[in-house]
Amino acid sequence: GRNDYPIRAMWNSILAGIVFQHESIEKLRRELARNGQLRHLCGFQGQVPSSWAYTRFFKKLLHHADLIQAMFDSLVQELRKLLPDFGKHLAIDSKAIPSYARHKTRNRTPDGRRDTEATYGVKTYRGVKEDGTPWEKVVRWFGYKLHLIVDAVYELPVHFSLTPAHVADITEAHRMIDHLEESRPEMLEHAETLAADKAYDDTKLIRRLWDDHQIKPVIDIRNSWKDGEPTRSFTKWENVVYTYKGEVYCVCPVTGKERTMTNGGFEKGRNTLKKRCPAKQYGISCQGMSQCSVAQGIRIPLAEDRRIFTPIDRSSYAWEKAYRRRTAAERVNSRLDCTFGLEKHTIRGEQKMRVRCGLALCVMLAMAVG
């Protein structure tokens, strides 16, 4: 039969549409009609493919979504060869992808216009202003959620997953770790840290990362103390208290003054954090030093509270430096929106969206490989 639009040419044009930031097929077709060099580069010898030709091509492409995933994995492996430290520091985050189709109705029969697989998602952001008043921002959308694990240094994706918008970040994080354990365990063996925001503040995830894979979790923490107390006491030391953020204070037995204990590092063999006497470290005069039971320092087991006490001390500069790498995931999300066309799209259906996100991420990796 006729072969007016070869598969290779159609595939090249799809990739060209992503590279040259054409959000829709119609924009791509107009550019192909205008730009003869692009048509030749893609491999078209005659006229520009019709809209229906692209529709048929995409329908067939959906049956080969596993090949796109294989392409993504292959590009990640290629980057690991080119960049030996690729995947050493990871960050995880999710981004909302709104669907601009009609919202849910009672009629669940797919008709190509409505998005019957999208769901409603909500993200709540909370904080405190400079004057001490709390603020809250609630974002709602109808569509999907793209979950990404990225290299926090090179700002490139390592693994991705697409779900309906209602799926919780932490739930999908465990599934992504499961997938990496099965398909690419070497990525987990190579990783040293994983940074994430409060949405991933979960004891099970923290335990899993460190206990199973020796990955140091650098995850922001929520204040889950309901009693309103600013500090809590240790059972082992009477004059040592800590906050939910992992700050540890010793209390002078004579004056009752609190001082921040200095960080002494992490002892991997003992799974403990070392804290030292501030009076000895800084040369501060402390009236109760001779009576203090922690003047020689203390070792805090991680088991005291796995959320609060992590291999990288939350109150250390090292933790702040590692946590700043988390913004790499946000920059990858921004590039997907602004450069790869996910901010303005006309895609309907979870499988189509998964393929489109996979193609965009493959192009991102391919441009990095060169």
Q: How far is CA 344 from CA 101, 117, 190, in A?
A: 12, 19, 36
What residues have CB less than 8 Å from 56, skipping those under 6 apart? Answer: none
Helix (H) or strand (E) holding 116: none
How much is the pTM? 0.91
Question: 212 — alpha (psi -120 to 50), left (phi > 0) or beta?
Answer: alpha
pLDDT for residue 47: 86
Per-residue pLDDT tens listing for the chain (370 residues): 467 789 999 999 999 999 998 988 999 999 999 999 999 999 998 789 999 999 999 999 999 999 999 999 999 999 999 999 999 999 999 999 998 877 766 666 766 667 888 999 998 888 778 887 888 999 999 999 999 999 999 999 999 999 999 999 999 999 999 999 999 999 999 999 999 999 999 999 999 999 999 999 999 999 888 877 899 999 899 899 999 999 999 999 999 999 999 999 999 999 999 999 999 888 888 888 888 989 999 999 999 999 999 999 999 999 999 999 999 999 999 999 988 888 888 888 899 999 999 999 999 999 999 8
pLDDT for residue 128: 79
User: Can you spell out the DSSP letters for 204-266?
Assistant: HHHHIIIIIH-PEEEE-------S--S-EE-SS-TTEEE-TT--EEEE-TTT--EEEPEEEEE
What residues have CB less than 8 Å from 367, skipping those under 6 apart? Answer: 19
Spatial CA neighbour of 348 closest among 144, 167, 166: 144
242: which strand partners?
A: 232, 248
Separation of alpha carbons 185 and 272, rounded Å:
27
User: Can you spell out the DSSP letters for 33-66?
Assistant: HH-HHHHHHHT--SSPPPHHHHHHHHHHHHTTHH
pLDDT for residue 307: 95
DSSP state of 114: S
Q: Which residue has the tokens 């240790």?
A: 234
Q: Residue 363 corresponds to which tokens in the numbers above?
A: 């192009």
Spatial CA neighbour of 364 closest among 2, 15, 129: 15
Architecture of domain 83-221+324-369: 2-Layer Sandwich (3.30)
Q: Which residue has the tokens 């067939």?
A: 60
Domain ranges of the chain: 7-62, 83-221+324-369, 232-305
pLDDT for residue 110: 65
pLDDT for residue 347: 86
Is the separation of the CB atoms in 241 and 264 below 8 Å?
A: no
